[in-house]
Structure 1
Amino acid sequence: MIDDAYKHKVKTAAEIAEIIGKPPRRRKIVMCHGTFDLVHPGHIRHLVYARSKGAKLVVGVTADTHVKKADHRPFVPEGLRALNLAALETVDYVVIDPNATPIENILTIKPDYFVKGYEYQKGGLHPRTAEEKEAVESYGGEVIFTPGDIVYSSSAIIESGPPDLAVEKLINLLDGENRNFDDLKRALAGVAGAKAHVIGDTIVDSLTVTSVIGASGKTPTISVRYEGKRDYVGGAGIVAKHLKAAGAEVTFSTVLGDDLLADFVREDLAEAKVTLNDVIDRTRPTINKNAIVADGYRMLKIDTLDNRAISEQVCRKLCEAIRDVPADVLLFSDFRHGIFNRESIPLLTAAIPEGRFKVADSQVASRWGNILEFRGFDLITPNEKEARFSLGDQDTVIRPLGTRLFEEARCKVLMLKMGARGMMTFREAGGDLRSFFGIDSFADHVVDAVGSGDALLAYASLVLKTTGDPVLASIIGAMAAAAECELDGNIPVEPAMVLKKIETYERRANFGG
């Protein structure tokens, strides 16, 4: 790959120190440090100026874990930022700094000159800059400030129109984790035959299509002509259908009413070859959410539901199913419509057999519920709003927010969904493994984003269980979500659709378009 031509420039601080030797040196060493989230003209001028002061230029890059100045940042992961700088002729070495400040690297490398931007001395030295200056001068080095010039902002450039770096970030992640596209293909094929058991609320999503005839002159009443209606099995039901489409053997335990919509659910799931374990509750209707569309616009949604907590009898039957249904993966798909509540969750969780792979998805941001009620699970997949809801935190930027949720949930893997911005995965890490990594959205043309999280949940759960690899699970889950975004309606994602995504991005990675 082309990136390989520059990797030799990316070193540790200790490796650079050994190469350049200790001061005093005949050939001066210059060092800069920064985030370099997007390398822009201001960065180039700064680096060229710094290089002009010595024989070699070392650039320190702030590690992802210490970039906290804005939400959803860094936009470019540390490995790719390092390679972007290494590709510049003016840069001789790049070091990804694992520390919050560059002081330790300064004292290890001992550059003759440490170059800072003009803005860092304007109006007096910032305390952190003063600490850096003290470190440099402690061994006889010197801090130089670049001449005053236009100060460009990576943040402003990113926020005005984020560039599409999905391919580059994917390559960087796979390379950094010693994975490749063949690994993705094998992982996708390997989920066939896995046994999955889904417990959750069934929702029948209806789409009533109309066209506007006119409006009343006296009241705010719109007159529409009925043109048709389509029903889809949604909620936890579509999660079950995604799992089945992926190749798993699926049992779906849920609560239905005694009505015609329940018959529709049975017929639909039978056609999809999902084994349905339905508990009938004659006191409540099968949940229906009917969106009224007028001339292509969603004008109104009519929900028919009863959000009361399930009875002790119904809860007991679901606990029996959790204990008795053989499964490799158990998924709690919580839409907070009665099955999962303060009383039932401890009982349902306690019924899970020892050693069962446990997954929870809690789509409850608009109702009372909390993903933290599923502590100790192998995988949880909330979106950003649900994460903030669970922690009561609307202010913290996304990476520290995810880290806190991961720690409080005591889960093994957290996949934090961020909509059009992709996702961020947090995991138990040791050795050289990173504790978190980001993945951009792989959707090329969004038709209907609703339900993409259900596709991600299904595919990521199966891959994580069968491979034990959060990286492969996250990428394949994200690609399944992208495939769902490109479909109109709640349509189960087939493995062929995900494979097509993998092959598309493999071609793009190899400059095949």
Structure 2
Amino acid sequence: MIENKYKHKVKTAAELAELLGDPPRRRKIVMCHGTFDLVHPGHIRHLIYARSKGAKLVVGVTADEHVKKADHRPFVPDGLRAMNLAALETVDFVTIDPNATPIENILTIKPDYFVKGYEYQRGGLHPRTAEEKDAVESYGGEVIFTPGDIVYSSSAIIETGPPDLAVEKLMNLLEGEKRSFADLKAALQAVKGVKVHVVGDTIVDSLTVTSMIGASGKTPTLSVRYEGRRDYVGGAGIVAKHLEAAGADVTFTTVLGKDDLAEFVREDIGRSGIHLNAIVDETRPTINKNAIVAGGYRMLKIDTLDNRGISEQIAKKIVRGIKNTAVDAVVFSDFRHGIFNGESIPMLSAAIPDAVFKVADSQVASRWGNILDFRGFDLITPNEKEARFSLGDQDTVIRPLGTRLYEEARCKVLILKLGSRGSMTFREGGGELRTFFGLDSFADHVVDAVGSGDALLAYATLALKATGDEVVASVLGAMAAAVECEIDGNIPVTPDMVLKKIETYERRAGFQE
């Protein structure tokens, strides 16, 4: 790989201290430090100036966990930021700083000159800059400020039009975690035959197609011509269908009414080869969400549902189903339409056998619910809005927000869905194992993003259960979500579809057409 040509320039602070020796030195060592989220012309001018002051230039890069100055940052992970700098001729060495400030690295490397941008001295020294200056001067070094010039902002560039770095970030992750595209393909095979029990609310999504006739001149009443209606199994039902399409052996427990839509669900699920455990509640309808479309625009949505919590009798039937169905994993697909509530969740969670892999997804965009109701699960997959709702926090930037949710949920793995910005995975860290990592969206042409989270949930669940690998599970889930985004309608994603997407990115990673 091209990146291997520059790897020798990326060192730890301890390695650099041994390599460069202690001052006084005949050949001066210069050091800079920053985030360098996107290397722009201002950075280049700063680095060229710094390099002119000595024989060697060392650049410290802030580690991902300490980048908190803007939302969804860093945009570029630290390994890739370090490689971007290492590829520059003017830079001799790069070190990823695991500390919140550069002071410890300064005292370890002991550069002769520590170079800061001129903006850091305007209006007097910031207390943090003063601390850095004290550290440099403690061994006889000197702080230099670059001359005044145009100040560029990585944040402004990223927010104006973020570049597409999905391939580069993926390669950086796979290489850093010692994974490969072969591992992704192998996982697609490994998920086949995993036994999964999905428990959740079935929603029949309907599309009533019309054409505009006109509007009343006296009242705000639109007149449309009926042209047809299409029904689809959604909610927890489509999660079950994604899992089955991926090759899992699926049991689906849900609550249906006693009506025609319930029969539609039975027939549709039956054709999919899923084992359906439908519990009938004659007091409520089968959930239906009917979108009225005119001229390609959704004019109105009519929901037929009853969000009352299920009765204790029905909850006990679901509990028996969970206890008596031998599976490898249980997925709670919570749309807050009755099955999951304050009383039923503890009962249903307690029914899962200890050795079974536990997954929860709580989609509460317009209803009351909380992903933290599923504490202690192996995998949870909320989106940003659901994460903020669960913590009552609309202000914290994404990475610290996800870390806090991960800690409070006490789960093993958290995949935080970020829509068009991709996803971020949180896990137990330690040693060289990073505690979080991000992936950009792999969707090339978004046609319909509805259902992408369901596809991610299905493939991430199966891959994590089959391989125990958070990286592989996160990538496969993201690939499946991208495939779903490129399809019109919530259609089950097959392994062949995901394989095609993997191979596309494998070609791009190899700079092939």
Using the size of structure 1 for normalisation, the TM-score is 1.00
Deviations 1:131-151 (A, max 9, x none): 000000000000000000000
Cα distance between partner residues in 2 of 1:188 and 1:8 = 34
- The aligned residue for residue 428 of structure 1 is 428
SS in 2 for 1:30: strand
- The aligned residue for residue 494 of structure 1 is 494
SS in 2 for 1:302: strand
Cα distance between partner residues in 1 of 2:137 and 2:383 = 47
Indicate if the aligned counterparts of 1:13 and 1:108 stay in contact, CA closer than 8 A: yes
- The aligned residue for residue 398 of structure 2 is 398
Indicate if the aligned counterparts of 1:9 and 1:93 stay in contact, CA closer than 8 A: yes
Find out whether 1:287 has 2:287 as its counterpart.
yes
Q: Which amino acid in 1 is paired with 2:307? A: N
Cα distance between partner residues in 1 of 2:299 and 2:508 = 40
Give unmatched runs, 5+ long, in structure 2: none
SS in 2 for 1:167: helix
- The aligned residue for residue 453 of structure 1 is 453
- The aligned residue for residue 244 of structure 1 is 244
Cα distance between partner residues in 1 of 2:226 and 2:420 = 33
- The aligned residue for residue 35 of structure 1 is 35
Cα distance between partner residues in 2 of 1:232 and 1:365 = 20
Indicate if the aligned counterparts of 1:30 and 1:112 stay in contact, CA closer than 8 A: yes
SS in 2 for 1:454: helix
Cα distance between partner residues in 1 of 2:186 and 2:265 = 33
SS in 1 for 2:71: coil
Q: Which amino acid in 1 is paired with 2:246? A: A
Q: Aligned residues: percent identity? A: 81
Indicate if the aligned counterparts of 1:17 and 1:109 stay in contact, CA closer than 8 A: yes
Cα distance between partner residues in 2 of 1:116 and 1:231 = 62
Cα distance between partner residues in 1 of 2:125 and 2:366 = 47
Deviation at 1:203, TM superposition (A): 0.2
Deviations 1:467-487 (A, max 9, x none): 000000000000000000111
Aligned residues: 513
Cα distance between partner residues in 1 of 2:464 and 2:72 = 25
- The aligned residue for residue 270 of structure 1 is 270
Cα distance between partner residues in 2 of 1:102 and 1:365 = 41
Cα distance between partner residues in 2 of 1:510 and 1:225 = 52
Using the size of structure 2 for normalisation, the TM-score is 1.00
Q: Which amino acid in 2 is paired with 1:509? A: A
Find out whether 1:467 has 2:467 as its counterpart.
yes
- The aligned residue for residue 74 of structure 1 is 74
Deviations 1:299-339 (A, max 9, x none): 10000000000001100000000001111110000000000
Q: Which amino acid in 2 is paired with 1:451? A: G
Q: Which amino acid in 2 is paired with 1:210? A: T
Q: Which amino acid in 1 is paired with 2:485? A: C
Deviation at 1:354, TM superposition (A): 1.3
Indicate if the aligned counterparts of 1:97 and 1:105 stay in contact, CA closer than 8 A: yes
- The aligned residue for residue 174 of structure 2 is 174
Find out whether 1:13 has 2:29 as its counterpart.
no
- The aligned residue for residue 320 of structure 1 is 320
Q: Which amino acid in 2 is paired with 1:152? A: Y
Cα distance between partner residues in 1 of 2:192 and 2:499 = 14
SS in 1 for 2:333: strand
Deviations 1:411-467 (A, max 9, x none): 000000000000000001121000000000000011100110000000000000000
Find out whether 1:209 has 2:209 as its counterpart.
yes
Deviations 1:238-275 (A, max 9, x none): 00000000000000000000000000000000111111
SS in 2 for 1:182: helix
Deviations 1:114-141 (A, max 9, x none): 0000000011100000000000000000
- The aligned residue for residue 157 of structure 1 is 157
Cα distance between partner residues in 2 of 1:494 and 1:219 = 48
- Cα RMSD after superposing both structures: 0.5
- The aligned residue for residue 260 of structure 2 is 260
Cα distance between partner residues in 1 of 2:444 and 2:212 = 32
- The aligned residue for residue 197 of structure 1 is 197
SS in 2 for 1:268: helix
- The aligned residue for residue 368 of structure 2 is 368
SS in 2 for 1:189: helix
Cα distance between partner residues in 1 of 2:162 and 2:227 = 40
SS in 2 for 1:232: strand
Cα distance between partner residues in 1 of 2:420 and 2:188 = 23
Cα distance between partner residues in 2 of 1:196 and 1:219 = 52
Cα distance between partner residues in 1 of 2:285 and 2:67 = 49
SS in 1 for 2:511: coil
Deviation at 1:190, TM superposition (A): 0.7
Cα distance between partner residues in 1 of 2:435 and 2:354 = 26
SS in 2 for 1:373: helix
Find out whether 1:218 has 2:218 as its counterpart.
yes
After TM superposition, what 4+ stretches of structure 1 lie above 6 angstroms from structure 2? none
Cα distance between partner residues in 2 of 1:430 and 1:324 = 38
Cα distance between partner residues in 1 of 2:354 and 2:117 = 57
Cα distance between partner residues in 2 of 1:210 and 1:10 = 61
Q: Which amino acid in 2 is paired with 1:424? A: M
SS in 1 for 2:277: strand
Cα distance between partner residues in 2 of 1:430 and 1:149 = 42
Cα distance between partner residues in 1 of 2:99 and 2:185 = 36
Indicate if the aligned counterparts of 1:365 and 1:389 stay in contact, CA closer than 8 A: no
Q: Which amino acid in 2 is paired with 1:391? A: L
Indicate if the aligned counterparts of 1:30 and 1:54 stay in contact, CA closer than 8 A: yes
SS in 2 for 1:403: helix
Cα distance between partner residues in 2 of 1:208 and 1:490 = 16
Alignment of 1:126-165 (within 5 A): 126-165=126-165
Deviation at 1:217, TM superposition (A): 1.0
Deviations 1:35-84 (A, max 9, x none): 00000000000000000000000000000000000000000000000000
Deviations 1:169-203 (A, max 9, x none): 00000000000000000011110011000000000
Cα distance between partner residues in 1 of 2:151 and 2:211 = 53
Q: Which amino acid in 1 is paired with 2:15? A: E
Q: Which amino acid in 2 is paired with 1:508? A: R
Cα distance between partner residues in 1 of 2:28 and 2:156 = 34
Deviation at 1:365, TM superposition (A): 3.0
Cα distance between partner residues in 2 of 1:366 and 1:289 = 13
- The aligned residue for residue 336 of structure 1 is 336
- The aligned residue for residue 119 of structure 1 is 119
Q: Which amino acid in 2 is paired with 1:412? A: K
Moved more, 110-119 or 204-213: 204-213
Deviations 1:484-510 (A, max 9, x none): 011111100000000001000000000
Cα distance between partner residues in 1 of 2:419 and 2:458 = 17
- The aligned residue for residue 509 of structure 1 is 509
